[in-house]
Amino acid sequence: MSRFLHTRYAGLETYTPGEQPRDKQYIKLNTNESPYPPSPEVLAALGPGEVADLRLYSDPEGAGLREKLAGLYGVTPGQVFLSNGSDDILNFAFMAFGEKGAVFPSLTYSFYPVFANLHQVPYETVPLREDFSVDVAGLSGKGKLTVLANPNAPTGLALPLDQVEALVASNPGHVVVVDEAYVDFGAASAAALLGRYENLLVVMTYSKSRSMAGARLGFALGSRELIADLERLKYATNPYNVNRLTLRLGEAAVDSDPYFRANARRIMATRDKTARALREMGFRLPDSQANFLFVTHPRIDGARLYQKCRERGILIRHFSDPAIAQYNRVTIGAEEEMETFLTMVRDILREEG
Ligand code: PMP
């Protein structure tokens, strides 16, 4: 920290992004990216004309993409907010709706407390239950900004829609953010509730099921009022928060929605097969409805399994939080990548004795 930094940020906690290695080619199962390329329509969307148009600013309203997303999710364009990755929206949500404080589960996406601290939003956490499920009753009726990742990360467990609805209904007058970064891998989306609740903000991303993490595109669906609040903050910070190329790619991706749905189904099948194989090896893991597995084995701790895999060319996640130091999070890659991973883990466990 330099002597120039505002003293407000002296103790600022930051988020540590997952490793993006440059030293060699790994099988990358550490940051929940898709193993599949974006759709052929997305791959063909940018020609020299689009690149030449970079001399122009992007449309701050993102009108074309908002219209397409509105059509896809059965809402109006005024109910869609576009962002530079969904982290951008979560940041705005804490900034905009945290006046009375915030509440979220205690094992969840580790960026939430960082945003809360950044915007000086006092927050409380509600521990997950023993089986890692979210304690909906514990989170309900707090009269604060409530943030639920569904499916949750890093557990992969999803709440059924009636429980999400109960949470939203318990908190009238306060925003409930449902972060659906992983919703396309088998969970039910709270977008179905949008007509009934003005306090619901559903946050989604192109980074996972749509294979576009590098394009940085997220969006939120909500009531016109909530979207207008987010727009206000956007126009007070960075009106061109989504660049021209990404807007174009985003439209091409909506046009090829069936391609991405088919990829998600492939990933789900690979996930369930991988989960069965890991259980046969003695791993314990919750039933994931995301594109990753949260796994633990009695004979090896998380940091060690991570290290052993890394030496052999596969990256997975481990956690510094002592409560989950026994765990690893493994992104679901392509079928062959997971076969390689499983063979490697079998060898490692054999070596560990
Ligand atoms: N929410 C959750 C639960 C996540 O795991 C992630 C990915 N790290 C995000 C939001 C943010 O994703 P992005 O900014 O790439 O849209």
The protein residue whose alpha carbon is closest to atom 6 in ligand 1 is: 181
- Whether the pLDDT of residue 217 is over 90: the answer is yes
**172-184 average pLDDT score:** 98
**198-225 average pLDDT score:** 98
- pLDDT for 352 equals 87
Q: CA–CA separation, 307 vs 317, rounded Å?
A: 10
Range of the domain at 155: 40-255
285 shares a domain with 232: no
Binned at pLDDT 50, 70 and 90, residue 19 comes out as confident
**339-352 average pLDDT score:** 96
Tell me, yes or no, whether 3 lies in a domain.
Answer: no
Q: What digits encode the pLDDT tens for the residues 91-118?
A: 999 999 999 999 999 999 999 999 999 9
The protein residue whose alpha carbon is closest to atom 2 in ligand 1 is: 181
- Whether the pLDDT of residue 203 is over 80: the answer is yes
162 shares a domain with 60: yes
Q: How many domains does the chain have?
A: 2
Matching residue, tokens 């194989």: 277
Tell me, yes or no, whether 9 lies in a domain.
Answer: no
**Identity at 119, one-letter amino acid code:** H
Tell me, yes or no, whether 11 lies in a domain.
Answer: no
88 shares a domain with 28: no
Q: Which of 227, 255, 283 is the last residue of a domain?
A: 255
Tell me, yes or no, whether 265 lies in a domain.
Answer: yes
Per DSSP, the residues of 100-142 read T-EEEESSS-THHHHHHHHTT--EEEEPPPTTS---HHHHTT-
- Mean per-residue pLDDT of the chain: 97
311 shares a domain with 245: no
55 shares a domain with 164: yes
Tell me, yes or no, whether 75 lies in a domain.
Answer: yes
**34-59 average pLDDT score:** 97
Q: Which of 233, 255, 277 is the last residue of a domain?
A: 255
Cα angle 204, 206, 208 (rounded to 5 degrees) comes to 95
- pLDDT for 23 equals 85
Binned at pLDDT 50, 70 and 90, residue 21 comes out as confident
Which atom, in ligand 1's list, is nearest to the CA of 31? Answer: 8
- pLDDT for 111 equals 97
112 shares a domain with 246: yes
Q: Say how many Å lie between the CA of residue 90 and the centre of ligand 1.
A: 9
Q: Say how many Å lie between the CA of residue 180 and the centre of ligand 1.
A: 9
273 shares a domain with 246: no
What percentage of the chain carries pLDDT values higher than 90?
96
Site residues for ligand 1, CB cut-off 6 Å: 85-87, 109, 149, 153, 179, 181, 205, 207, 213, 218
Which atom, in ligand 1's list, is nearest to the CA of 86? Answer: 16
180 shares a domain with 66: yes
- Other CB atoms within a 10 A radius of the CB of residue 23 amount to 5
To test the pocket of ligand 1, the residue of 205, 210, 291, 331 to mutate (highest count of ligand atoms within 8 Å of its CB) is 205
Task: Quote the pTM value.
Answer: 0.97
Q: Say how many Å lie between the CA of residue 86 and the centre of ligand 1.
A: 6
CATH number at residue 211: 3.40.640.10
- pLDDT for 318 equals 96
To test the pocket of ligand 1, the residue of 94, 111, 242 to mutate (highest count of ligand atoms within 8 Å of its CB) is 111
Is residue 348 within 8 Å of 300, Cβ to Cβ? yes
**129-136 average pLDDT score:** 97
Q: Say how many Å lie between the CA of residue 14 and the centre of ligand 1.
A: 15
- pLDDT for 18 equals 87
84 shares a domain with 113: yes
Is residue 158 within 8 Å of 39, Cβ to Cβ? no
CATH number at residue 294: 3.90.1150.10
Binned at pLDDT 50, 70 and 90, residue 85 comes out as very high
- Whether the pLDDT of residue 1 is over 90: the answer is no
- pLDDT for 118 equals 97
What percentage of the chain carries pLDDT values higher than 70?
100
133 shares a domain with 57: yes
For residue 200, what are the β-bridge partners?
176
Q: Which of 232, 255, 278 is the last residue of a domain?
A: 255
Per DSSP, the residues of 296-352 read EBTTB-HHHHHHHHHHTTEE-EE--SGGGTTEEEEE---HHHHHHHHHHHHHHHHHH
Tell me, yes or no, whether 144 lies in a domain.
Answer: yes
Tell me, yes or no, whether 8 lies in a domain.
Answer: no
Q: Say how many Å lie between the CA of residue 87 and the centre of ligand 1.
A: 6
- pLDDT for 5 equals 94
- Whether the pLDDT of residue 353 is over 90: the answer is no
Q: What digits encode the pLDDT tens for the residues 153-176?
A: 999 999 999 999 999 999 999 999
Q: Say how many Å lie between the CA of residue 284 and the centre of ligand 1.
A: 25
149 shares a domain with 46: yes
- pLDDT for 236 equals 97
250 vs 17, residue with greater confidence? 250
Tell me, yes or no, whether 5 lies in a domain.
Answer: no
Residue 245, class by beta-carbon neighbours within 10 Å (0-12 exposed, 13-18 middle, 19+ buried)?
A: middle
117 shares a domain with 51: yes
**311-340 average pLDDT score:** 96
- pLDDT for 136 equals 98
* Residue 255 CB contacts under 8 Å (≥ 6 apart), including other chains: 41, 68
